[in-house]
Amino acid sequence: MNKDHEDFTRTGIELMTAWADGGQDTKFVVERITAKLREGTDPLLETTDMLIGVINVAAYLLREHERATGQRPEQSLQSLAAKLGRAPE
């Protein structure tokens, strides 16, 4: 099956929704990730698809944040890295 940008993004939304629905407990999102890995025939390909999907969602949210605040995505990421005590690479 040939996946496109929207397919990857839907997968990312599914995983991030599972994360959001789980609150502080990551059990639900881990269950969804595990289920997606079992659904596919190639765990590496499934992992890559999920990663691309989550990156697509993060990119969308960074752009929305930029529109709302004027802060560029790089600045937002640098700010997060500083809060975690690490300089971005």
Q: What's 40's DSSP letter?
A: S
Using 50, 70 and 90 to split pLDDT, how confident is the model at 24? confident
- Domain layout of the chain by residue ranges: 5-83
Query: Which pTM was predicted?
Result: 0.83
- pLDDT score at 88: 57
Residue 82 has pLDDT above 60, yes or no: yes
And the tokens for 52?
A: 């691309």
Q: Mean of the per-residue pLDDT values for the chain?
A: 91
Average pLDDT over residues 68-77: 96
Residues 13-23 have pLDDT tens digits of 999 999 999 88
Check: CB of residue 15 under 8 Å from CB of residue 33.
Answer: yes
